[in-house]
């Protein structure tokens, strides 16, 4: 189910907010991200404000520089279990089978512990 508030925001704004969030999480300025992408800092500012949308090529470069998948750039931070499961699934898909099993085992143990009384 899509949050009505998010559905009302244009894709350009959602994408811009996500780019800004990822950039800030790396403690980069707009100028530093622009340098890594080989674009002008104003270009990053326009993306983050939702004033313009990056081309597919630039979107791919952004994802690479920010070390996320293109889908992660377009995803909003939803707390819906199905949305979170899809994000976790995307993270797991890049792991080797043994590593996936290890991570899912840890998640299962954490969930069981948190569900138990006094967990």
pLDDT < 70 stretches in the chain: 1-9, 76-79, 83, 87, 119
pTM over 0.85? The answer is no
Residue 19 in contact with residue 62, Cβ under 8 Å?
Answer: yes
Predicted local distance difference test score (pLDDT) of residue 81: 78
Residue 66 in contact with residue 23, Cβ under 8 Å?
Answer: yes
Summarised one tens digit per residue, pLDDT across range 48-58 is 999 999 999 99
Predicted local distance difference test score (pLDDT) of residue 104: 93
Summarised one tens digit per residue, pLDDT across range 18-32 is 999 999 989 999 999
Q: How far is CA 4 from CA 7, 55, 78, 110, in A?
A: 5, 27, 12, 31
């Amino acid at each position: 189910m899509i949050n009505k508030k998010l559905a009302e925001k244009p894709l350009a704004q959602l994408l811009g907010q996500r780019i800004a969030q990822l950039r800030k999480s790396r403690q980069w300025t707009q100028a530093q991200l622009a340098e890594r992408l080989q674009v002008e800092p104003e270009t990053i500012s326009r993306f983050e404000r939702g004033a313009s949308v990056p081309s597919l090529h630039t979107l791919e470069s952004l994802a690479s520089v920010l070390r996320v998948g293109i889908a992660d750039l377009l995803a909003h931070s939803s707390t819906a279990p199905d949305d979170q499961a899809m994000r976790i699934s995307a993270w797991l898909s890049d792991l080797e089978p043994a590593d996936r099993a290890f991570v899912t085992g840890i998640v299962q143990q954490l969930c069981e512990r948190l569900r138990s009384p006094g967990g």
